[in-house]
Amino acid sequence: MVTFSTFVAKTTVFAVIAAFLLFIGDEDSETTVHIHPESEVVIAGTTNVNSFDCSYILEDKSDPLHVVYETKDGKFLFSKAELFLQNSGFDCGGRGINRDFQELLKTEDHPRVLLELLYAEVPEKPSDVIRAGLRITLAGVSREFETELICDMNPDLCIYGNFVMHLSDFDLEAPRKALGIIQVDDRIEVQLNIKLRPY
């Protein structure tokens, strides 16, 4: 499991900006990037008796991502910066909990999770992080979040971050198991560890 509390920023905002320029250039309005197979998205949660982590290793994302963007008022505004994750690709560590997770996400009707990068904001002062806007579509419901991301060039563009959301944000009801004894908490955390390289 990726533990985001241990991440240490290795770049200032100037290096972060340079990383963006390296990948997207300052004149073009679109670019193509490849996701490194070691990239990972984790959905973590707790119950009244333990915790769980459902991880998605992006080793099957061989197709490049085509990203369109513009710059405005100190922000990179993105369109089509989309990452589709098949629900069946999440591994929660066991057959039973995997089945429960698929049921929770309403996989039969909504087989994919969609992550979209909406914008990245350049801080006015030197900082180790940038603020970014994300849209998450889960079980057919979309919600937008703002979070902080840490970027590092080593040598790929590595993006780390995590943010909290709630099952109720997506009209999902936290399930009860074992005759109602085990209750899944409404609060969940999405953890990102994404490595990008020019295509």
Picking from 79-93, 105-119, 165-179, which range would have the lowest pLDDT averaged per residue?
A: 165-179
Flag whether pLDDT at 26 surpasses 80. no
As a whole number, mean pLDDT of residues 87-103 equals: 90
**Two tokens, residue 65:** 């991502």
Tell me the domains of the chain and their CATH numbers: 8-198 (2.40.128.110)
What predicted TM-score, i.e. pTM, was given to this entire model?
A: 0.79
Give the DSSP letter string of 120-187: EEPPSS--S-EEEEEEEEETTEEEEEEEEEEEEESSSEEEEEEEEEEGGGGTPPPPEETTTTEEEEEE
Tell me the per-residue pLDDT of 123-152, one tens digit each, with 9 for 90 and over. Answer: 666 556 788 999 999 999 999 999 988 877
